Chain A
Amino acid sequence: MVDLPETGDGQEGRALDYEQAGPMAVRMLLGARLRKLREAAGVSREDAGYAIRGSESKISRLELGRTTFKLRDVRDLLDLYEVSQDERATLLAMAGQANAVGWWQDYSDVVPGWFLPYLGLEQAATLIRCYEVQFIPGLLQTPDYAYAVLTIGDDGIPGPRTERRMHLRMLRQQILQRPSPPRLWAVIDEAALRRPVGGADVARTQLEHLIEMARSSHVNIQIAPFSGGSKAVADGPVTMLRFPEANLTDMVYLEQQTSAIYLNKPIERFYYWNVLNRLATEAAPPTDTAAILDRIRREI
């Protein structure tokens, strides 16, 4: 562990546990810090790119934490920005950690490439807000339900790949069992709850699992009933991840059938923040969740 450099000017956020959060968070933090240092030094992206034998867009990618760091590049940038010896040591140590391989990379053979960054980001988040229309959110699925969902997407023949994908989904869920877990704020459409994925028994057990999970103080589930008009604002699932540092912006993740979009421009963040806020204010309050889930469970 290294001391966390002062990267933000806000008070929000807890210290980030690198070991828990994984290299993605370290990359984002290091990138954000490098951007602050570059701006403070009055260096353009283009000039910084030139100093590390690269382009303006290479600097952009580095500063967003989208790529691994070469130690030589980081060293050259710190020279260019005239960073103090103390901070150099810390940032170079971070660069070393940022290149560590996340455990989820082991699963790159069974999940599409566009999903891997999400896995890294989800591990680093302190708040996960999501809206799901079709299925129960992955972080709240039981193994049997997950298995059923994964075989829908497949060719219908479960094989070793399905097993591995299910195992990955269960590993993802471990973030909710951490000593200081992220908060999960999920709005689930009633349609997703009533769809008997995997058959009635699997669906009922899944609903009981949701009731159980909603008891945790860090898991908040709200149900958007059929009667709600709010759903018009979202035509598919929306996930928004928040990270602990004040200068790391929220990330919006939109998953589609064969790809995913990652958004974090201010206008996009505001748009989807508003979508999630509308869904949450119009959905039933969390105090009603257990009763609604129990009613649906009995009706299946």
Chain B
Amino acid sequence: MSKARWRKARWVGLAVYCCVALLAATSCGSDDDDDGSAGGGTTTTAADTQIAGLGPTLEEIKQKAREEGEVNLVIWAGYADKSWAKPFTQQTGCKVVTKDGASSDDMVDLMGTGAYDGVSASGDATLRLIAREDVAPVNFDLTPNYADVFPGLKDKSYNTVDGVGYGVPHGRGPNLLVFRKDKLPAGTDSWAPVWDGSQAGKLSIYDNPIYIADAAVYLMATQPDLGIENPYKLDQKQFDAAVDLLKEQKPQIAKYWDGTTYADQVTTFKSGETTVGTTWPYQTNLMAAEKPPVPVTSLKPKEGTTGWSDTWMIAKNAAHPNCMYLWLNYIISPEANAKVAEYFGEAPSNSKACALTKDANHCDTYHATDEAWWEDVYYWDTPTTDCGDDRGEVCKAYEDWKAAWTEIKG
């Protein structure tokens, strides 16, 4: 039946045409080969920080924000809780719409869609966002509260490139060692139980490639001849040692946890399924709030630890830049920052926030003013090939960290 064949051929032809058209359409799209050198960047000019639609002065920003009426944020869970988001909306007229990122990778991904105005990015996401040109530098004249930020949080390597700042700091916190008081000796102050097999089968570990840095931190103390100085700048030998250590640890892990399973970590510590591991103050607060509270101790071990300080960044093509600038200024205002710090369990970034926390000792408990305490806290950073010292470009990049993490998990 040649007629049927001919008709069939027409349909096949149409299908092929569609595929070819798609191919052509996408191939003709702009090629994104950015040569993303970490150091690339020019000095800020007023034009750099100028985002389309942004008012030039604070007054105009406030006016335009009322017209915008909304701000779309990518956040870590809990970073825009009602208790400070609602007053913001009342003050500025900007409704706060949020999307939780489950991980830094997720956040980089989400910002790449161009649907959001800003993000609370950790150090392992910030440099990537800057290199991808998804975020714009911040004009600190338009965020007056920035003047009160602790000096120890300004001009950090993960959010400042060539002297150009790309965001305001949210607060800072450490990755803590947490252990069951009744299962481990009271004086435990080292990461050793997490690595040496004494609690095999009962570990609770953060599920993310950045955890390789924690292995590196431990190696800094136990294998000093490896010469690790920065746990995010590991050359092949140091990297292999860290990966080997992690592979030894893998069979001892009872449960991983991440940004969607905070409650699960609380449950596993409560039931004793896990007795020791890494955690954030967020979970230790949750564990303390249980009825009855989970009997754990959490602390920064003597070897030091990794930590995080998240940076609020504004999208280059933000649809609501004025609301976003108001948010940037608001979130580091003493009132909001105090609430933020207490809610999540971290040290505030604004020095004036300490006077406003409900718990008068909050800043002391979280070492907000104790810069020395933060000396051995290695904030999350983005691993790149550039070792930043005389070794040159031999360090392992995030890509390798990801590949290794997949291999470690098996």
Is B truly associated with A? Answer: no
Q: Footprint of B on A, CB under 8 Å?
A: none
Q: Footprint of A on B, CB under 8 Å?
A: none
